[in-house]
Amino acid sequence: MTSGEAARIARFCIGSLVGGIVLAGLAAPVASAAPDCSPATVEATKETVGQQAQAYMDSHPDGNKVLLTAALQPRPQAEATLRAYATSNPQEYAAFKQILAPLGTLQQQCGVQVVPAQFQWAFEQFIGG
């Protein structure tokens, strides 16, 4: 074998190795992206989000009052109340939406109902569906 042939074989082997690593890297995120929909994970996520949401509402009494008010209103009025608060308080809305987002992700990826059915409309209104 000549030195030229050896160099070509070495480049081919290195190229194959690098290509394999790249393909493995591309495939790995897809494999790890599968959601964990076990009952334990669903419950842990609900618990964590609930605690974070409660802590946030405790530190934002005006937002808490709006949510409690909306919960007692007829649906069209509640929708308007939530929309008005979100419009006038975009930073709070964005922060609370971020806290609640894992619930939407669970519902979409795992096909489970984690928001009580009677509040699903409000969740979709607030989170954006």
Owner of token pair 């897809």: 30
Burial class from Cβ neighbours inside 10 Å (0-12, 13-18, 19+) for residue 83 reads middle
Residues 6 or more apart whose CB falls under 8 angstroms from that of 78 comprise 70, 71, 122
Please answer whether residues 127 and 101 qualify as being in contact, where contact means their C-beta atoms are separated by less than 8 angstroms. yes
- Report, as an integer, the average pLDDT of 38-64: 91
DSSP-assigned letter for residue 1: -
pLDDT of 56-70, one tens digit each?
A: 989 999 988 998 898
pLDDT of 109-124, one tens digit each?
A: 998 888 877 777 777 7
Which of residues 50 and 33 earns the better pLDDT score?
50
Q: For position 24, what pLDDT does the model report?
A: 37
Residues 6 or more apart whose CB falls under 8 angstroms from that of 62 comprise 89
pLDDT of 29-41, one tens digit each?
A: 444 457 789 999 9
